[in-house]
Amino acid sequence: MSKRLLRFTALGYLTLLLLAPVGMIAYRTFAHGMSPVWHALTTPSALHAVYLSLAVTAIAVPLNVVFGVGTGVLLARRRMPAGGLVNLLVNLPFAMSPVVIGLALFVLYGRTGWIGSWLAAHSLQVLFSFPGLVLATAFVSLPFVIREVVPVLEELGDDQEQAAATLGANSVQTFWRITLPSIRWAVVYGVVLSAARALGEYGAVSIVSGNIVGQTQTLPLLVEERFRDFDSTGAYSAGFLLALISLLILAAMTVLSRRKEHP
């Protein structure tokens, strides 16, 4: 009885909090049929926003994988001098509001910032351009791969790596043949989570992007702009597309985690 009540409460809570709003978006998007949705999503600015979001994600996520796996191995396997500090830093993007991250990047990379002024002198621009978007996105999605990889590495222990060493493998061979295959599912999870986060990132990106339509406007920024301009069909359509991509990513993750059971 109490079990049923608990289940009911949990489901009700999830429905109210998650399912109803997402369902509403879908419902409102298609309230007037397919054609206005199609129209809203095929404007040049919308197409560019989709392309830009995917491109930024496609660069930020691999950066996170390389950095995340590398740092993860160092944190889990070597007695790192400032290991505690690194651990803390890695969690920073989780703890900090994305808007603050955006501001921090703005200060550093702006024309008067330390790095920004040097870049400006070499006529390179980070803010209000593609590199700035990648930077902000990589920052906010940085912890996901590390946070997935480190616990798995710690649980595995280093017996297998030592066994590989006694069999003649050097550290590069050991990494590719033993370490990476053993953490591959953690890496996949990390990729999925950071991709979902990267695609949806709004706060930090909104500050460094400048929101230039057709140039630095990502999909979330497009949703927000159309919403503010009372273009409800445009906002709902773009919002729905964003939600759909996230759902596809989550579905991929679920399928992958099922396959994980089999070696």
Partner 1 sequence: MSIDARGITKTFGDFHALRDVTVSIERGRLTALLGPSGGGKSTLLRIIAGLETPDEGRVYIDGKDMTGIPARRRGVGFVFQHYAAFPHMTVWDNVAFGLRIAKSDRARTRERVGELLDLVHLSGLSHRYPAELSGGQRQRMALARALAVQPKLLLLDEPFGALDVKVRQELRAWLRELHERVHATTVFVTHDQEEAMELADQVVLINDGSVEQIGPPEKLYDDPANPFVMGFLGATTRIGEQLVRPHDIEVLRTKNGFDAYEGVVQRVIGLGFHSRIEVVLADGSESTVQLTRAHARQLELRVGDTVYLRPLGEGPTHEIPDARSGDVQPA
Residues binding partner 1 (CB under 8 A): 159-160, 162-170, 173, 177-178, 181-182, 184, 263
What DSSP assignment string belongs to 168-192? T--HHHHIIIIIHHHTHHHHHHHHH
Shortest separation between residue 187's beta carbon and partner 1, angstroms: 13
Query: Smaller CB distance to partner 1: residue 7 or 177?
Result: 177
85-88-93-95 Cα dihedral, nearest 10 degrees: -140
Cβ closest to partner 1, residue 7 vs residue 260: 260
Q: Rounded to the nearest whole angstrom, what is the least distance from the CB of residue 184 to partner 1 in the complex?
A: 8
What does the alpha-carbon distance between residue 225 and residue 228 come to, in Å, rounded to a whole number?
A: 5
Provide the H-helix boundaries in the chain. Answer: 2-14, 20-29, 34-41, 44-77, 83-95, 98-109, 114-121, 130-140, 143-156, 159-166, 171-174, 180-182, 184-200, 203-209, 219-228, 232-259
Distance CA 79, CA 187 (A): 22
The rounded distance, in Å, linking the Cα atoms of 43 and 234 is 10
Nearest CA-CA partner of 242 in 5, 40, 80? 40
Tell the smallest beta-carbon distance from residue 168 to partner 1 (Å).
Answer: 5
CB of 191 to partner 1, least distance (A): 18
CB of 170 to partner 1, least distance (A): 6
Q: Which amino acid appears at position 28 of this protein?
A: R
Nearer to partner 1, 141 or 174 (CB): 174
Considering beta carbons, is residue 120 or 169 the nearer one to partner 1? 169
Nearer to partner 1, 186 or 242 (CB): 186
Residue with tokens 């033993």: 178
**Residue 179 CB, nearest approach to partner 1 (Å):** 11
* Burial of residue 103, with CB atoms counted within 10 A of its CB: 0-12 exposed, 13-18 middle, 19 or more buried: middle
Q: Which is nearer to partner 1, 151 or 181 (CB)?
A: 181
